[in-house]
């Protein structure tokens, strides 16, 4: 599959590497197609990935991954060009984090709305699926934990898009995918990121992920 990964941070790097290693063709998008961070990322990912602007990446892809700074994601989408997303599956890995000089981050939106819903509203002709936002980037591809693989939670309005994303998650080493239903499930998944961050600080270990115990 031809995949656009918008974002040159740690998540963009981890997911671009995951898609390339899984045999997909990846274009990584940045505001600046000549940015040193993009160049460095492409060197790390290898020949299966090329770089471009946000717009170039989306235009050449069948599936788009949003791995941009959470609060800036609507701006990144506008830069890419809203019509270019029409009909595409869009994986939203973002969290609307606000950082503070002291103390843990908070969410800029929550409870009765979410960034996932705002992205879907901005892209009415695309099929947005929230995924990957509840785990740290080092565990996004082939997560390895002594107790077995963690669970991944997803949500989105289009069942076909969620089936596509579930298949990708299986390829990435996530055998258990829990579908919360519509994109409004992002109201629950985005706060889980804060639970992940604060749990990491509480136990002094960020090699952590969530799992639903069953019996």
Contact residues toward ligand NAP (CB under 6 A) are: 7-12, 30-32, 35, 67-70, 72, 75-76, 79, 93-95, 97, 133, 136-137
Measure the CA–CA gap between 53 and 197, rounded to whole angstroms.
31
- Name the minimum Å distance from CB 97 to ligand NAP: 5
Identity of the residue, 104 or 160, whose beta carbon is nearer to ligand NAP in the bound complex: 104
Q: At what angle do helices 73-80 and 115-122 cross, to 10 degrees?
A: 20
What residue number has its CB nearest to ligand NAP?
9
Q: Are 159 and 89 in contact (CB under 8 A)?
A: no
- Name the minimum Å distance from CB 86 to ligand NAP: 20
Identity of the residue, 90 or 93, whose beta carbon is nearer to ligand NAP in the bound complex: 93
Identity of the residue, 138 or 148, whose beta carbon is nearer to ligand NAP in the bound complex: 138
- Name the minimum Å distance from CB 146 to ligand NAP: 21
Q: Are 129 and 89 in contact (CB under 8 A)?
A: yes
State both tokens at 147: 């107790």
Q: At what angle do helices 10-21 and 36-45 cross, to 10 degrees?
A: 30
Measure the CA–CA gap between 113 and 109, rounded to whole angstroms.
6
Identity of the residue, 35 or 159, whose beta carbon is nearer to ligand NAP in the bound complex: 35
Pairing state between β 127-130 and 89-92: parallel
- Name the minimum Å distance from CB 69 to ligand NAP: 4
Q: Are 115 and 70 in contact (CB under 8 A)?
A: yes
Identity of the residue, 70 or 88, whose beta carbon is nearer to ligand NAP in the bound complex: 70
- Name the minimum Å distance from CB 215 to ligand NAP: 29
């Amino acid at each position: 599959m031809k995949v656009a990964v918008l974002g040159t941070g740690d998540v963009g790097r981890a997911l671009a590497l995951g898609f390339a290693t899984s045999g997909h063709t990846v274009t990584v998008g940045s505001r600046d197609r000549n940015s040193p961070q993009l160049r460095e990322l492409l060197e790390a990912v290898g020949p299966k990935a090329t770089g471009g602007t946000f717009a170039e990446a989306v235009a050449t892809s069948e599936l788009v991954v949003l791995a941009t700074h959470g609060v800036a994601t609507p701006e990144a989408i506008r830069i890419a060009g809203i019509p270019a997303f029409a009909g595409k599956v869009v994986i939203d890995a973002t969290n609307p984090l606000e950082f503070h000089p002291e103390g843990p981050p908070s969410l800029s939106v929550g409870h009765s709305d979410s960034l996932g819903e705002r992205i879907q509203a901005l892209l009415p002709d695309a099929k947005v699926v929230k995924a990957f936002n509840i785990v740290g980037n080092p565990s996004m591809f082939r997560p390895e934990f002594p107790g077995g693989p963690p669970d991944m939670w997803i949500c989105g309005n289009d069942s076909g898009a969620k089936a596509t994303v579930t298949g990708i998650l299986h390829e990435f080493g996530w055998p258990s995918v829990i579908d919360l239903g519509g994109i409004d499930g992002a109201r629950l998944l985005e706060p889980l990121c804060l639970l992940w961050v604060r749990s990491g600080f509480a136990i002094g270990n960020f090699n952590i992920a969530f799992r639903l115990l069953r019996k």
